[in-house]
Amino acid sequence: MPTDQANTWASVALLSPVPDTPQQVEVDADVLAKASALDALRVVGGNALYGRVTISGAKNAALPLLCAAILTRDPVQFTNVPVGLADIKTLSALLISFGVTVGLRSDGVAILRADNIKSTSASYDLVRKMRASILTLGPILAREGHAEVSLPGGCAIGTRPVDIHLGGFEKMGAKISIENGYIKASAPNGLHGAKVELPFPSVGATENIMMAATLAKGKTTIQNAAREPEIVALANCLNSMGAAISGQGTDTISIQGVEQLHGASFEVIPDRIEAGTFMLAVAMTGGKIILEKADIEPLESLVTLLQEAGVSVEEENGFVVVSRDPAKPLKGTDIMTAPFPEFPTDLQAQYMAMLALCEGAGMVTETVFENRFMHVPELNRMGANIRIQGNSAIVRGVEKLSGANVMATDLRASVALVLAGLVADGETTVNRIYHLDRGYENLVDKFRNLGAEVERVKGQ
């Protein structure tokens, strides 16, 4: 290895054993998507869950963190990365297309080095697979002075525009145009600090603007910023790379721009949505599970509801122990999704699956996305009694669900159907599970280890 390269690598506190140079990953998201597009999960209901499950690093934290590596020429190392997820591979492919060297190791270590950005354009082909690709726009624009990212377009859970991201960049001096389906952003003399007030505390817009502002001239203030733990993690990582960010976790974030960022080593926080999903699973099936590497603090909104429903959630010796006596009825409560710290939209479908089996009736109101009830007709096919009224769903508890052939069109809806299958009478086939591969690492093995009867089969 040439000495200068060796020195660059030495500037990062690398864990051992790590390869001398990052290995370029072989990523073909298309192959991955095709392989799993027709896969299904066969679930046989009725088993209570018992045992231990290790919670993976958070997908929604890892994606922006990998994008942050664009902001420095130095290598950046992440640990606890959910490297098995399709979304991580898709983003890696996009970063590689910019010229970033990406090494993903099976033990969750990712090493990225953006010493030579060769392209500033994110193609439709890669962006359409994953909306989070838009998070490359801020870092590329800040570093190179221009960027071109395909518009992500709509998705199953709503139109999901990116106007809040673009409004922030414009405030920071970028010229933005939309041409042939691409967002073209330029700031030839660099971005400057600005006061940016978000019309809605968008998670992605907060992250994108915060990353871009680290290299802007002067101070940026983001008002009505999102407060999700993934934003705090991103800000902490950027600070360890030399950024000057304060106020993360509150609704006002200040970023004092710096000349350049440097390499760092950072651990991805645990996936609170995966942890919440397992908590809801055991609430539904009964049993007792121990969550390892989980953090319940950011799940307070769910934990309170689970305890009210009759589920025990305790922290013991650094683990989270969740149990429910299957003989006792569950009592459901109304929920309304909203930005953190309120109830997360990413747990709404799973909570509704639990509510379907609770005593009495409950109402689920979705305020974050306008079309996030695709799981309702599928749950009803399994015997649930749910009626949609505007952005609310009224759930009348039933005694039993019954196995059926079902299909979901997004990640969290898919896992909600798996949870329903775990308690339904007979066999449930959840079709087109590539959504699950986007966001849940080793889901089948994790459930099987807890005693569930789940297997991957060829679907329709």
Binding interface with ligand UD1 (CB under 6 A):
60, 63, 131-132, 158, 160-165, 200, 202-205, 230, 345-346, 368-369
The nearest distance, CB 153 to ligand UD1, in angstroms, is 12
Residue 28 or 342: which CB sits closer to ligand UD1?
342
- CA angle 399–422–347, rounded 5-degree value: 90
Structure tokens at 431: 């079709």
End-to-end CA distance of the chain: 50
Residue 164 or 404: which CB sits closer to ligand UD1?
164
The nearest distance, CB 372 to ligand UD1, in angstroms, is 8
Active-site position among 67, 155, 237, 358: 155
Residue 256 or 391: which CB sits closer to ligand UD1?
391
Q: Cβ-closest residue to ligand UD1?
A: 204
The nearest distance, CB 226 to ligand UD1, in angstroms, is 6
Q: Residues with Cβ < 8 Å from 118, sequence gap 6 or more?
A: 98, 99
Query: 77 - beta bridge partners?
Result: 111, 265
Query: 158 - beta bridge partners?
Result: 155
The nearest distance, CB 367 to ligand UD1, in angstroms, is 9
Which of 74, 77, 68 is closest to 95 using CA atoms?
68
**What amino acid occupies position 102?**
V
Residue 74 or 87: which CB sits closer to ligand UD1?
87
Q: How far are the Cα atoms of 27, 116, 331 from residue 72, in angstroms, in the given order?
A: 23, 10, 51
Residue 74 or 274: which CB sits closer to ligand UD1?
274
Q: Residues with Cβ < 8 Å from 283, sequence gap 6 or more?
A: 306, 309, 311, 322, 324, 330, 354
Active site includes 237? no
The nearest distance, CB 17 to ligand UD1, in angstroms, is 31
Identify whether the C-beta of residue 245 lies closer than 8 Å to the C-beta of residue 205. Answer: no
Q: Which residues are catalytic?
A: 155
